[in-house]
Chains A and B, each alone.
Chain A
Amino acid sequence: MSDSPRFNTREAVDFVIVGSGSAGGIIAKELSTAGFDVVVLEQGPYRKAAEFTHDEVDVIFNDSLLGGGPKVSGQTFRDDASKVAQEPFRTPAEYAQTVGGSSVHFTANFWRLRESDFKEKSVWGAIEGTNFADWPITYDELEPYYTKVDWEIGVSGAPGPFDSYRSKPFPMPPMEINSSGVLMEKAAKSLGLHAQVEPLAILTRAHNGRTPCIKCGYCMFFGCEVGAKSSTLASMIPLAEASGHCEIRPECAVFRLETGANGKISEVLYYDPDGNEQSQKAKAVIVCANGAETSRLLLLSDNPRHPDGLSNSSGFVGRNLMFNSHAASSGLFEHQLNEYKGVQVTRVIHDFYEADPGRGFYGGGGIDARAFLSATPVLHAITSLPAGTPRWGAQFKDTIGRSMTRTMSLATGSTSLAQDSNNITLDPTHTDQWGRPAIRVTYKDHPDDLAMATFLQDRSMELLEAAGAEQSWRWPVNPQTGGNHLLGTCRMGNDPGTSVVDRYHRSHEIKNLFICDGSSMVTSGRGQPTMTIMALAFRAAEHIGKAAAAGDI
């Protein structure tokens, strides 16, 4: 922090970056260490590792890392555009509000996409009623940046039998196998499947001056108290600040990008920590606010030249929202697994990754073994008991007591199809705590997405039986009413008529506007998008830096 500069808001800095998460943190580091002056505007507070706790009441039920929950955000949800969106129980578009963004509280499962992900439409064919499309880039083009993530962010793991090629090995060995990993291996082997090491954005040994994981068990939903989880807070922000060219401004909520007479973005308007309007002049702006916030900001920044929002001539800003599909099943075992210790996942099955016409629907995904909601005491008690458990009384209490250390869950992550009808728009009546029109989420899973999730859950139940579960049960696969993978809403593409940014994340319409986060993704991948968001960010930063150096902004 001591080297961090304070830039004058009235003098244009080289870049303003909106959001400090998986993409924003990386781009801030890359551009600032290259010598560009960067201001990062982050609406959440600047928490440090030592401030993260194991307090479930605070983190999970009071949504402290999420900025306070749905009543504060004003977010609304509907499953069909013909309906009036309602205030939901849980935030429909969920993301952390803190320096480092959702890379702070994510579980750190870290899959690369495969070659097939980038050209799947060409292989599978068009899917009627969707915007299923190929990416404008290939795995070959992104692979060097995946490797850059491995080494700069810090990823532990080991290659699996179905992985796409990697140009360099993992920088550190995988996490030790835990009991759910052992049971997964046993079950997979008996069914002719392949349990492979789960790559994790968690350090297993000291790396780039950071300490390794202490196996505390509080990865999912919580911030890492030792910085072993490879958030941008732990890995990138300190380097950006040490460059002397990056200022992080926390608790600053951007509400508008102002366009000048030359058609370029001239300044970024935001509310400071006291709620006062401020403006930062900028030569260029990079929006990395996540698939929901990025879309909202572009829609909020409409002007006579861009009546439907910035960079939205195609109408694709906010469209094609993809949450990934999910299903879960659980099993109770004779002996203690103690999954509350260590990381969530050590083994995953990718035998069903590729789409298979033989299934009768499009889709693919993975199945991992994990503690899931039995990692922490309150969540276990209220959400994770075996089917048929009484809801109160002595047997209820005894079951809670016996099951937390003996439960394993199989969580599936799979494809979501891009659809016009799944989108982010501005709610006409609700506002957030800053007074900005609230994010309105409209979403209904495609039938193929639900079919794939159900298919994977069926396989999960077979795995639980093969693993020797005393009892196993499944959670209903229902249409999702929210998500924390916020993908596809400002997709990249070569055609300005069907995409928002080009293959280098530059707006098709505004030369000094760049967008890079989950919104850039053309397809959803199979369920763990953060690795790809980070690789895209390294790649985008390289091209943006080159363009700036060449005066092409």
Chain B
Amino acid sequence: MHNDDNSRRDFLRGGVALAGGSMLRFTVPGIAALAQAACSAKDESKAFAILTSSEAREFEAIAARILPTTATPGAREAGVIWFFDQTFGTFNAGNLQFARSGLADFQAAVDGSTLFSDLDETTQDAHLKTQDQTPFFNMIWFMTLTGFFGMSKYGGNRNDIGWKLLDVDPTQHAYQSPFGYYDAEYMKEHASE
């Protein structure tokens, strides 16, 4: 008795609600961007199932400013765009039209006929600051994080890049105490008593 249309919508609604329930945060100016790494959207454009290569390039460019490439890999290297493509073709299909129309509005707000992906990163960040409270941005933000930190079977988090950033490994199913610094210290203290 599973209703695919409904669960697709739920995917995003639930995530946005969870994010909205978190503590209040204040947006401060982004950090100056580092050089872009190779664009996976261009490299593998033929493999997209749902997105056009130009759509993929723009979505990926936005995702890459949300989780940029720094000393560690970002959304681009983690293949977040493949999460977009895969889930827009499955349980997230109900949001594809909204994403496409949102992207059109997002692009329209960029000066002139330049694509967001063609702007330099400083200009990209300046533009994103004018757009980061919109429902479209919220959706891209949520999908970027889910693609970056979710299981790689959904297309993103390639080479466990997301989990390596966190220093965790959810594929490991068993641990032993001590787990962290404070309980390790506690065990040492109590062992010497």
Q: Is B a genuine binding partner of A?
A: yes
The one of B154, B170, B186 in contact with A376, judged by C-beta atoms closer than 8 angstroms, is B170
Q: In the complex, what's the smallest C-beta–C-beta distance from B46 to chain A, in angstroms?
A: 26
B91 near A391 with CB under 8 A, answer: no
Q: What A residues does B174 contact at CB under 8 A?
A: 214-216
**Count of inter-chain pairs, beta carbons less than 8 A:** 236
Which residues of A have CB within 8 Å of B145? 378, 381-382
- Within 8 Å of chain B (Cβ to Cβ): is A474? yes
Q: A69 and B183: CB pair below 8 A?
A: no
Residues in A neighbouring B148, C-beta threshold 8 A: 381
The complex places the Cα of A330 from the Cα of B25 at a distance, in Å, of: 14
Closest to A89 in B: B17
B132 within 8 A of A: yes
Tell me the chain B residues, 1-49 only, with Cβ under 8 Å from chain A: 1-3, 6-7, 9-11, 13-34
Residues of A within 8 A of B11 (CB): 57, 61-62
Q: Please, which residues of chain B bring their CB within 8 A of the CB of A404?
A: 166-168
- Given the complex, which residues of B lie within 8 Å of A419, measured CB to CB? none
Smallest CB separation, A191 vs chain B (Å): 18
Q: Which residues of B contact A200 (CB under 8 A)?
A: none
| Chain B positions within 8 Å of A179 at CB level | 178-183
Q: How far is the CA of A235 from the CA of B2 in the complex (A)?
A: 28
Chain A residues within 8 Å of chain B by Cβ, number: 77
> Complex: how many Å from CA A253 to CA B2?
13
B21 touches A342 (CB 8 A): no
Q: Are the C-beta atoms of A388 and B146 separated by less than 8 Å?
A: no
Q: Assess whether B162 is in contact with A182, with CB atoms less than 8 Å apart.
A: no
Q: Is the CB of A393 within 8 A of B166?
A: no
Q: Is A512 an interface residue, CB under 8 A from the partner?
A: no
Measured between C-beta atoms, what is the minimum distance from B111 to chain A in Å?
21
Cβ-defined contact, B19 with A476, below 8 A: no
- Known contacts A335-B182, A378-B150: does B30 contact A393 (CB below 8 Å)? yes
Complex: A387 Cα to B26 Cα, angstroms: 8
Q: Chain A 389-428 against B: per-residue CB contact (8 Å), 1 yes, 0 no?
A: 1111111111011001100000000000000000000000
The chain B residue sitting closest to A58, CB to CB, is B151
Interfacial chain A residues near B67, Cβ < 8 Å: 392, 396-397
Shortest B139–chain A CB gap in Å is 12
- Which residues of A have CB within 8 Å of B165? 397, 400-401
Closest to A384 in B: B22
Report the minimal beta-carbon distance from A224 to chain B, rounded to whole angstroms: 11
Contact indicator B181/A214 (Cβ below 8 Å): no
B24 touches which of A176, A335, A383, A387 (Cβ 8 Å): A387
Q: Does A177 contact B (CB under 8 A)?
A: yes
Task: Determine whether B176 belongs to the interface, using a CB cutoff of 8 Å to chain A.
Answer: yes
Q: Which residue of B lies closest to A404 (CB)?
A: B166
**A386: min CB distance to chain B, Å:** 8
| Residue B136 CB within 8 A of the other chain | no
Min CB–CB distance B15 → chain A (angstroms): 5
Provide the bound-state CA to CA distance between A382 and B150, in Å: 12
Is A380 located at the chain interface by the 8 A CB criterion?
yes
- In the assembled complex, the Cα of A253 lies from the Cα of B180 at a distance in Å of 45
Task: Flag if B10 contacts A391 (CB, 8 Å).
Answer: no
Which of A57, A341, A434 contacts B150, CB < 8 Å? A57
C-beta contact mask, B142-164 vs A, less than 8 Å → 1, else 0?
10011011110110000000110
A71 within 8 A of B: yes
Query: B150 to chain A: which residues have CB within 8 Å?
Result: 55-57, 377-378
Which residues of B, 102-155, contact A by the 8 Å Cβ criterion? 125, 128, 132, 141-142, 145-146, 148-151, 153-154
Instruction: Tell me whether A434 and B1 are in contact in the complex, defined as CB-CB below 8 angstroms, given that A69-B14, A71-B7, A214-B173 are known contacts.
Output: yes
Whether, in the assembled complex, B96 has its beta carbon less than 8 Å from a beta carbon of chain A, the answer is no
Closest CB in chain A relative to B77 CB, distance in Å: 12
Contact yes or no, B128 A392, CB < 8 A: yes
Contact indicator B14/A89 (Cβ below 8 Å): yes
CB of A181 within 8 A of chain B?
Answer: yes
Q: Is the CB of A389 within 8 A of B25?
A: yes
- A183: chain B residues within 8 A (beta carbon): 182
Given contacts A340-B168, A385-B25, A474-B23, contact A378 B14 (CB under 8 A): no
Q: Using Cβ atoms and an 8 Å threshold, which residues of chain B touch A376?
A: 170
On whether the beta carbons of B70 and A178 are closer than 8 Å, the reply is: no
Q: A72-B7, A177-B186, A336-B181 are in contact. Are A342 and B175 (CB under 8 A)?
A: yes
Q: Are A57 and B151 in contact (CB under 8 A)?
A: yes
Q: Is A339 an interface residue (CB 8 A)?
A: yes
Counting chain B CB atoms within 10 Å of each CB, which of A56, A61, A215 scores highest?
A61
CB distance from B30 to the nearest CB of A (A): 3
With the chains together, A72 CA to B186 CA distance in Å?
48
In the complex, what residue of chain B is closest to A340 when comparing beta carbons?
B168
- State whether the Cβ of B66 lies closer than 8 Å to any Cβ in chain A: yes
In the bound complex, what is the Cα–Cα distance between A341 and B173 (angstroms)? 9
What is the 8 Å Cβ interface bit string for chain B, positions 58-70, against chain A (1 contact, 0 not)? 0000000111101
Q: Give 1 or 0 for each of A55-80: 1 = CB within 8 Å of chain B CB.
A: 11100111100001111100000000
Taking the closest CB of chain B, its distance from the CB of A389, in whole angstroms, is: 6
Within the complex, which residue of A56, A217, A373 is in contact with B151, where a contact is CB–CB below 8 Å?
A56
A475 interfacial by beta-carbon distance below 8 Å? yes
| B177 on interface, CB distance cutoff 8 Å | yes
CB-CB nearest in chain A for B142: A382
Is A54 part of the contact surface with B, judged by Cβ < 8 Å? yes
Contact A390 B179 (CB under 8 A): no
Given A338-B179, A388-B25, A393-B31: A71 touches B10 (CB 8 Å cut-off): yes
**A283: interface (CB < 8 Å):** no
Of B22, B132, B166, B171, the residue contacting A401 (CB under 8 A) is B166
* Shortest CB distance A106–B (Å): 18
| Residues of B contacting A62 in the complex (Cβ-Cβ under 8 angstroms) | 7, 10-11, 91
Give A338 Cβ to nearest chain B Cβ, in Å.
Answer: 4
> Shortest CB–CB separation between residue A363 and chain B, in angstroms?
22
- Between-chain CB contacts (< 8 Å), 24 pairs: A70-B10, A70-B13, A71-B9, A90-B14, A90-B17, A177-B186, A182-B183, A182-B186, A215-B177, A330-B23, A381-B148, A387-B23, A387-B24, A388-B26, A392-B141, A393-B30, A393-B66, A395-B30, A397-B67, A397-B74, A400-B165, A404-B166, A473-B23, A474-B23
Known: A273-B1, A391-B132, A398-B70. 13 other contacts (CB 8 A): A54-B171, A54-B173, A182-B185, A215-B174, A216-B173, A251-B1, A377-B168, A390-B28, A390-B30, A401-B72, A404-B166, A405-B168, A474-B23
Q: Give me the interface of A with B, judged by CB distance under 8 Å.
A: 54-57, 60-63, 68-72, 88-90, 176-179, 181-183, 214-218, 225, 251, 253, 271, 273, 275, 330, 333, 335-342, 373, 376-385, 387-398, 400-401, 404-405, 433-434, 473-476
